Chain A
Amino acid sequence: MLFRKMLRTVIRYKAQFFSMIIMIAIGTGMFLGFNMEWLSLEKDTKAFFKETNFADYRITSKDSFSKKDADKINSITGVDRTARYISVNADVKGTENMVGLTVTENPNVSGFVVTDGEAYDENSKDGIWLSDKYAENNNVHTGDEMTLTYDKLTITGKVKGLIKSGEYMICVRDESQLMPDFKLYGYAYITPKALQQSIDNMAKDEAEKNIRTDIPKTMRDDIVKETTQKIADETYQNVWHQINVISSLSKAEFTKQVEKVLDRTLLILTKDENISYSESQGEVNEGKTMGSVLPTLFLLIAVLTMVSTMHRLVANEKTQIGTLKALGFKDRRILWHYTTFALSIGIFGSVLGAVLGYFVAWFIMNPDGMMGTYIVMTDWTIQFEWWCWAVLTGIVLFLTFIGFLSTRKMLQGTASDVLKPYTPKNIRQLAIEKLSFVNHLSFGTKWNLRDILRHQSRSFMTLFGVMGCTLLIVAGLGMNDTVGKFMDMYYTDIANYSSKVQISDDAENKDALNIAEKYNGDCLASVSVQYEDNPISLDIYKMKYDTVHFLNENNDRILLPDDGALVCMRLKDEYHLNIGDEIELSPYGTSEKYIVKIKGFNRSLSKSISVSEEYAQTLRSTLKVLTYTSVYKINTVFTKTEKSKINDSFVLSVQSKEDIMKSMDSFMEIMNLFVVILIISAVILGIIVLYNLGIMSFTERYREMATLKVIGFNDRKIGNLLISQNIWLSVLGILIGIPTAYGTLALLIKMLAGEYEMSCYISLLSLLISTVLTLSVSLAVGLIIARKSRKIDMVSALKIPE
């Protein structure tokens, strides 16, 4: 019979019952969803890296590595596998596209998985294993012929297989490209034999081109053959500038061992310094941050509202609890009866939350979803770990415990005590009310003010709900504003160029300078230097045409000084640097050390120190630097000339500002989706919290409203009283929510996108939208509840004893 009573209690409080379930489902769903997202990303990427034999270390050198070097490294204890490795950006003939042309001497290091076509065959001389995403976006199929060109090399082959590779899990051309664009850029693996073949062809062409025509044919053939062999051998031996290694050694130990066996200092990059690894793990960490901030707020709002609602619900049932007690039901049975109410809300809410969480995680983490536009891998399993179960169980237990405590509180005392209806605490005059202006407030204002003070937990929850709703909307829109402003700032204020020209590796500085002169461009030489054991980029600019600007932390333009360096904000924060400090930098591959004086700090996409060429030259002349050209080589030219007008033999590639912006668009799309999810969830949660608490407020003030109605207040006046309380709390919630959102956003930006050195920014429009949206939610809910005042049954309401 008690079970039947419980079902009827559920029906009686159906609005609260279902809203609590939805609230718990949204809170749990958002929390689990965002946390399952990073968990899945972490596990799935880890599995993919393992599956494709992702390298732990990348050793690079200006001088090519010999086979012997690779063998020496392979012989180090703790080194599992090594492979000489090439990865260069090659043009796809007949298109404007590029692919990362990749060769690995050992397919068990930095390899790939074939998703379609033939398996990798190391003896193939014409096989190309192409990125499946690139193939899909460019309508390339297995069996199709494809020609790739890099410098003087031409590689023509057949697409034998479509693949996915851990090395290109995040397939971007360089650091300036934020998001992959598979239409324009992919990757392709060829075998060392295919590389040898194309080198042979190139060598033959070179030999034939340079042979004197007055030599007899037979002799000429011999010379060509001999020269071809010589060029081919030299070229083949000089293309291996990288060795990839799978090893369990620590970086310090590995570096020590490698430098010992090769007897030279080398630039050794861990997997953390590889874009695919660092960015994907960055996504995981961002996911962890996201999962621990905003979704936790969702969960907190849901659970706290549930606590408040459950208490009120049991309080409303106090007379019934007393009746059961008076009838002779034991406390334990009554406790269980009402606790099951909370238990069932917990179970239904958590189960729905788990389902919602799965979909939220899936929405982000699926090959065609948000993450799929960024990361390419084989397995997209949504992971659900023990702690997800623990969260679900914890929520159910917590809610049950809340139900238990609320009921136990009502059960205290004798049956006759419990039979008396629950009355909230008596109100007393507050000190503030002694102020004269309080006496001039309208009756409605005083009524609402005291009601807020009388029902503090309900009022606090309403305030908290509105604040949370505002915070989520403002933070969501603010995130969009911040990224938008950052991009705008970066590509309007910083990048004053139209095209970014990559200079080919075989060009000398004079060639690069010629290109710069030809296209009125400024030069950049990026040198990998070591600072405090970490690799950073020393960017040396030769500026003449004002194509690159520098912004300080207030986003004001500053000039690149001639007597010191500009250090990026991240390095400033990480190493607590100050203007006037001197820092020591050492280029990789050399034992030279430079002392650089800090003259200012700037916002930069990469972890870098920027200096002018003039200043770089003073470093050379005043410090223990041996050679100038061995230290840096111009690799980029920025120019205001349009991409289509740039053509030079030493140009490796040209990216227009629009190309770069396009990749930003995809980034923005993901961000927009995320913001939409956040706003929709916030609005739903806001509606439910406000409705739930509004209904509670309505129920608690039912008798008072009935009295007002009897006295002669009409429905509109009573409705206005109800709405005005909602509006007050909403305005207060918004006023608290906006600065809180600003703080939360600043924290999120710092944790999520520290590498971009963004400054937190919320536009006036976003604040307006957030305010209007939150107030609209509040007003809409207030109107729905106010409509209920029409149905107040004055006769029966006033018969209820006080």
Chain B
Amino acid sequence: MSALIEARDLTLSFGETPALRGASLAIEAGEVFAVMGPSGSGKSTLLHCLAGILTPDSGEVHFDGRRIDTLNEAERSALRRDTFGFVFQFGQLVPELTAEENVALPLLFSGVRRAAALAEARPWFTRLGLDGLERRRSGELSGGQAQRVALARGLVARPKVLFADEPTGALDSLTGEQVMDLMVDAAHEEGTTVVLVTHEPRVAAHADREAIVRDGRASLLTTGRIAS
């Protein structure tokens, strides 16, 4: 089976500082894949390359059989909008908009009319335990509620891939677990592939497979032989 997303030997430097030094990995369709690693290891940079946000200095990124690192900005922007969903750690909701408008945003950007976009957004409130919060603004939501709204927004357009960068980083343990449970359940129900960047092992343990990024290189974690 060929991978849905594949990174081949990516390098990327920010000025003199190398962030990726030959990172390769392959992610299968429908799996929840965790990218772990300490701060500064390059894991977020890797995610940004996989998602077409950053372009590597060298190497290739393939998505669904198509090379995407060579696309121009407009093409990558369309890919991100139409095919990918995103959940980040902080500050994702537009404070001027209500929760349901925030969830509907990806649909609105794709040209769906407002009423239809909101109608599509609303069932996610029930699904993620957010009933009654549709009209609230982000300042009126708890951290966990805001993150669930962000999750709904990441999934509302039924993306093929959800990229989640430290999605529970700002939440307490219990709330973080709830968000992860909802994310994994929703992704499996929708058949969405999830690329999850986290430095927290308990969060990574929700994934089907993990890789660790160290010094800008990725390696798949496999158990192998364990000495007793």
* A and B interact: no
Which residues of B pack against A, CB within 8 Å?
none
- Tell me the A residues contacting B by CB distance below 8 Å: none
